Each structure stands twice: as C-alpha cells, then as structure tokens.
Amino acid sequence: MVVLSAMAHGQGAAGEAIGVAFLAAAGGLDEERRAVYGDLVLSSLNAAARRMLEAMMKSGYEFQSEFARSYVARGVEKGRELGLLEAKAQAVLAVLDARGLEVPAEIRERVLASTDIAELDRWIRRAASVRDARELLATTGS
C-alpha cells in the first residue's frame, strides 16, 4: 500500500508521511522486496520528502527494520573494505616513492586496481626490497 501511495501521491504534500510509513513497513518484507519497493518509493517521492528522510537518517534516526539496519551495516563494511584496499595500495606506492624508484603507469594502475588484501600486503613487503618497481609484480618470491 505504501508503494502505491508513493507512486500516486509521493510528489504531493503527503510525500514525507509516505516515506516515513515505508520505513516503518519495510521491516515486514523480505530483502529483495524491500530493495525493489524502497527504490520505487524513493524515486516516487518529491525532493523535499527525500531530503527529509535523508536528514532523519543522518541525524541519528534509528532504523526500525532489520533490512535497513543490515543494509546500512553492509554499506559500512564495504566502505571499510574499500578504504583498507585503497590505503594498502597507497602504501605500496609510497614505499616505492620513498625509495626513489620510478613507478611506470601500468604498475601504478595495477596496484591501485587490486582488490586482494593479501596481494597488496605482499607488494608492501616487496616494495621495501625491489631494485625496480617492475619487479614488484613478479610472481616469484614474497
């Protein structure tokens, strides 16, 4: 009902109330339906209603549904993972730079594109001892 209300009335004055109603109702839905219906509701609301909901969420709004809590937790975990990958890639490049080694563009791109924490850890250690940055990606050694 909330989704249909959003689609029919989300652009009007009831948009904010509809958005809040969706947050409350979403807890009773399975994960896939919550994602699809949530997208439909958000895309149907007027700009003021979307801004209001974003403000509620940013100002310590406590999500009522397990879906919303798990969705936010996944986002936080993914952000941490991406931050760790970026920090390790930058560490590899910083060690090579501190040693005065020239880093060719293809090596820099490969390091920055890595999504493997263990690989980046190996490269950090190798960056401390290679004579040339091209040796960093060699498959032999650690």
Cα dist. 120→40, 110, 117, 130, 140 in Å?
A: 40, 11, 5, 15, 15
71 inside domain: no
Judge if pTM exceeds 0.85.
Answer: no
Displacement of CA 30 from its chain's centroid (Å): 22
Higher pLDDT, 14 or 62: 14
Question: Tell me, what DSSP letter sits at residue 46?
Answer: -
Same domain, 49 and 85: no
Domain span holding position 105: 78-137
Same domain, 50 and 96: no
Least reliable range by pLDDT among 24-38, 40-54, 102-116 = 24-38
Assess whether pLDDT exceeds 80 at residue 23: no
pLDDT single digits (tens) 57-108? 566 556 666 766 777 677 778 888 889 999 999 999 999 999 999 999 999 9
Q: Pick from 64, 93, 114: which residue ends a domain? A: 64
54 inside domain: yes
Q: What pLDDT is stored for residue 56 in this prediction?
A: 61
Q: Pick from 29, 64, 99: which residue ends a domain? A: 64
Same domain, 94 and 50: no
Same domain, 102 and 60: no
Same domain, 99 and 46: no
126 inside domain: yes
Q: Pick from 18, 41, 64: which residue ends a domain? A: 64
42 inside domain: yes
Mean pLDDT of the chain: 84
- How many structural domains is the chain composed of? 2
Sign of CA dihedral 9, 11, 17, 20: positive
pLDDT single digits (tens) 118-133? 999 999 999 999 999 9
Same domain, 128 and 82: yes
